[in-house]
Amino acid sequence: MRAMKYVFGPVSSKRLGQSLGVDLLAPKSCTWNCIYCQLGRSNRFVTERSEFFPRQEILDEIVEALGSATAIDWITFVGSGETTLYKGIGWLIHEVKQRTAIPVAVITNGSLLHLPEVRAELLEADAVLPSLNAGSEELYNRIDRPAEGFGFRQHLDGLRQFRKEFSGKLWVEVMLIAGLNDSDEALQDLAVELAHIHPDTVHLVVPTRPAPENIVSMPDDASIRRAVFILSQAAPVVHPVKGSMNLTGAADLLDAVTAIATRHPVQERELETALLDCFPGDPDAVRQSMDSMFASGRFDRVAQGSELYWIMKAG
């Protein structure tokens, strides 16, 4: 399979198993500047929707990937920023669903769901995964740091309206950050707002990947348990378990890892495990492959807690 511009993976997803990713945006195009964003800080906000890349080119790549990839659980529209900024995502969802029975998911921060045209474009998706990280305007502004004009109440109204119109699975993601939104008061506020939205489930996630701000840290196990207990008052809560990266179908391992690292940091330990599937019983070949890829000059290593991650080298 040739190197892809828009499609990457399949990669392991905490929520979606083996996910074939479709990146619709030029990096980094976003309405928010989240303190935990794995893509780093937003140098500028993007708030106007546009067709960043030709939709037919994107569809052609998806079709090609479906013809050669195996073990795909979901086709996931995700952006190097806010996915629904892509004007034409509804057309892509429709066309993909005409060609495969694999379910389609959209990962979004939900900031544009107050727009009727955006809600309409997502209605054919099987699952939509928007973010809600705070139950108060003060925490919303501290954590999500939205562009001017993207207020907390507007965000909530968009989520509630979409729930009324959308018949698929609505899985709301909550990023739990130590010392910010993991207190009893913050969680109770969040549970109140979630109860008004009526999601099918709440996906509780934690900042395991490197974040742009040093105030972002992992909550402890007791905080996670408390969050599950409190948020369960509003909807079932899952704390997703990460799957495993699959590189066995990659035509070029360096290009495949680059495609993933362009969208999010790659855990070195997970990469090593994935390469063991490519070189079964040959740890020397795994080490040589990793050394060769890193020697390409494309990546830097960064530490997050006790884990090392590969990120794309700046510039």
Q: What is the pLDDT of residue 315?
A: 58
Helix (H) or strand (E) holding 76: strand 74-78
Alpha carbon distance, N-terminus to C-terminus of the chain: 27
Q: What is the pLDDT of residue 124?
A: 98
Nearest to 253 by CA among 304, 210, 288: 288
Q: What is the pLDDT of residue 97?
A: 97
Q: How many CB atoms lie under 10 A from the CB of residue 171? A: 21
Q: What is the pLDDT of residue 251?
A: 72
Contact 4, 66 (CB under 8 A): no
pLDDT surpasses 90 at 186: yes
Burial class (CB in 10 A: 0-12, 13-18, 19+), 291: exposed
* pLDDT confidence tier of residue 304, bands split at 50, 70 and 90: low
Which range is least confidently modeled, 4-8, 31-35, 86-90, 135-139?
4-8
DSSP code at position 110 = -
**Superfamily name with CATH number, domain 7-238:** Aldolase class I (3.20.20.70)
Q: What is the pLDDT of residue 8?
A: 87
Distance CA 24, CA 29 (A): 10
Region 159-174: mean pLDDT is 97
Distance CA 135, CA 229 (A): 16
Distance CA 297, CA 254 (A): 11
Percent of the chain residues topping a pLDDT of 90: 53
| 205 contacts: CB under 8 Å, gap ≥ 6 | 14, 173, 174, 175, 176, 239, 240
Region 107-136: mean pLDDT is 97
Contact 3, 255 (CB under 8 A): yes
pLDDT digits (tens, 9 = 90+) for 230-264: 998 899 888 755 455 677 767 788 888 877 777 66
pTM of this prediction?
0.78
pLDDT digits (tens, 9 = 90+) for 40-66: 787 889 999 999 999 999 999 999 989
| 88 contacts: CB under 8 Å, gap ≥ 6 | 51, 55
Give the dihedral sign, CA 293/259/59/56. negative
Distance CA 261, CA 147 (A): 26
- Mean pLDDT in the chain? 88
Region 18-26: mean pLDDT is 90
Domain coordinates in residue numbering, the chain: 7-238, 253-312
Q: Which alpha helices (DSSP H) does the chain contain, by range?
A: 55-68, 89-99, 116-121, 137-144, 152-165, 184-197, 221-231, 253-263, 268-278, 283-295
* One-letter identity of residue 151: G
Higher local confidence (pLDDT), 236 or 117: 117
Q: Which residue(s) pair with 105 in the sheet?
A: 76, 127
Q: What is the pLDDT of residue 180?
A: 95
Higher local confidence (pLDDT), 239 or 196: 196
